[in-house]
Amino acid sequence: MSSSSDFQQDRHSFSGSPEKWNDFELPGDTLYYRFTSDMSNTEWGYKFTVTVGHLGRFQTGFEILKQMLSEERVIPHLPLAKIWEWQVGVACRQTGHQRLKAIHLLLKIVQCSTQGDCDLTLLKPLWQLFTHMENNLCHDMAKPGILLPLHRALAELFFVTENRVTELGSLQEYLLALNTEDHLHRCTAQ
């Protein structure tokens, strides 16, 4: 079995009893297989099951959602509020590239959403992470450097989100929802 017709890419070969076969993944949307018998016994052959993607596989879900959010005709049929809630949760729980990809999807959802599609108050934990990063950046001005990818991604998410809620006329509610009462007092005192 392979992901290419010449059987050179992602090749997996099996022979013998079913116990010798292992589950494996192939990238792409096409599977090529070749069955060859040496006629050494009279069994009927082999049976295998092909499953598209795997539930719980982050990359598969990311690619599917990214594609769906890129299709304007599909967006009205998506449960954006539920997808938003899931992706905020993923962005809060994951780290590294998976967190960046979740933030990328959040950005796409904000850009295509309408009033009420997304509960923007769910962004509060990410806002706290972003403000923490901003505060650390201010303290480290003696050591100028480039922003971390997460910092850049969050900055873009919150910049675009703020512009979006401004367009929708709900900026004040959004800002109040993201900040703590203590933070608002400190800002007022300044």
Q: Give the model's confidence band at 134: pLDDT under 50 very low, under 70 low, under 90 confident, else very high.
A: confident
Please give the C-alpha separations between residue 85 and each of 21, 111, 114, in angstroms, as whole numbers.
39, 16, 15
Asked, for residue 120, whether it belongs to a domain, the answer is yes
Asked, for residue 163, whether it belongs to a domain, the answer is yes
Asked, for residue 181, whether it belongs to a domain, the answer is yes
Asked, for residue 15, whether it belongs to a domain, the answer is no
pTM of the model: 0.64
Asked, for residue 88, whether it belongs to a domain, the answer is yes
Asked, for residue 125, whether it belongs to a domain, the answer is yes
46, 17 contact by CB (below 8 A): no
Asked, for residue 76, whether it belongs to a domain, the answer is yes
Domain of 178, in residue numbers: 57-186
Asked, for residue 62, whether it belongs to a domain, the answer is yes
pLDDT tens digits for 145-162? 556 899 999 999 999 999
Query: Total structural domains in the chain?
Result: 1
